[in-house]
Amino acid sequence: MRSTTLIAILLYTSTAIGQIDFSKPFQECNVTGSITIYDYKNQQWIFSDTADAKKAMQPASTFKIMNLLIALETGVIKDEQTIVKWVGTTDTTLYGYRPEIYKDMTVKEAFTVSAGWVFIELAKKIGKEKYLHYLKACDYGNLDLSEMGDDFWNFGPFGISPLNQVKFLTKVYEGKVPFSKKNIGILKKVMVSEKTKQYTLRSKTGWTRVDGKDIGWWVGFVERKDNVYFFATRLIKPRKIVNPDFGQCRKNITKTILKQLKAF
């Protein structure tokens, strides 16, 4: 077990690697929220907002990371190439929101394009009893699965904090979760978002709308030869405020700060 020291770095402070401005990227996107980072090599936690880092909210599609692992481990799917049949009508003109995702697709494609209906179908087969077993074993979220619908990660009282997200990702990276090495390997392969000679970025976005708010996530980790940086960025805005860049801001803010930390 790696020992860690929580080091709260305020919005603008001096660190061993120089002056890091955490506030400007959020201000430029006109959003509130936070970023939580764990510098694996130096065993250092970095918070833009320590209070927000501990506040649990719906994980939205970032839960697909856990969902994929549970679906694999329980045998609901064989691997990432398992095809899930579209359960609705084939007339996609009836779907105003992203009609291109309403079709038969592999689990890997569903993860990449964030096709929520695929993971809802998997959730029906998994069942909340099995979910609760694995969530407890992984210390993931607040364990409140009282939401009546299958889509409990988008709506209802189930929540997870950015700090919890990062701790979970760290345990996945180390293989300290109750899933087989094979299934963790499948997840890591599916999570690859960018790959260069310098780094590999594995990540997942999430976005839900609850209680009059837009909640946007981007979580993952950047692997370099010399270090790994784990991150969880969560943005919040009132739905009545129009911000067409809200989705992209999740990534822009994260990358701006990670570049300052020399992760990229």
Distance set, CA 226 to CA 130, 170, 173, 264 (Å): 37, 16, 15, 12
Distance set, CA 125 to CA 109, 146, 154, 162 (Å): 19, 17, 18, 28
Q: Decide: 61 and 23 in contact? Cβ < 8 Å.
A: no
Catalytic residue (choose from 48, 61, 114, 203)? 61
Q: Of 191, 195, 197, which Cα lies nearest the Cα of 231? A: 191
Question: For residue 37, what are its two tokens?
Answer: 């980072």
Question: For residue 244, what are its two tokens?
Answer: 């067409």
Q: Decide: 220 and 201 in contact? Cβ < 8 Å.
A: yes
Distance set, CA 72 to CA 75, 81, 125 (Å): 5, 11, 12
61 is catalytic: yes
Distance set, CA 108 to CA 32, 47, 57 (Å): 32, 32, 26
**CA torsion sign, 237 to 240 to 242 to 247?**
positive
Q: Which residues are catalytic?
A: 61
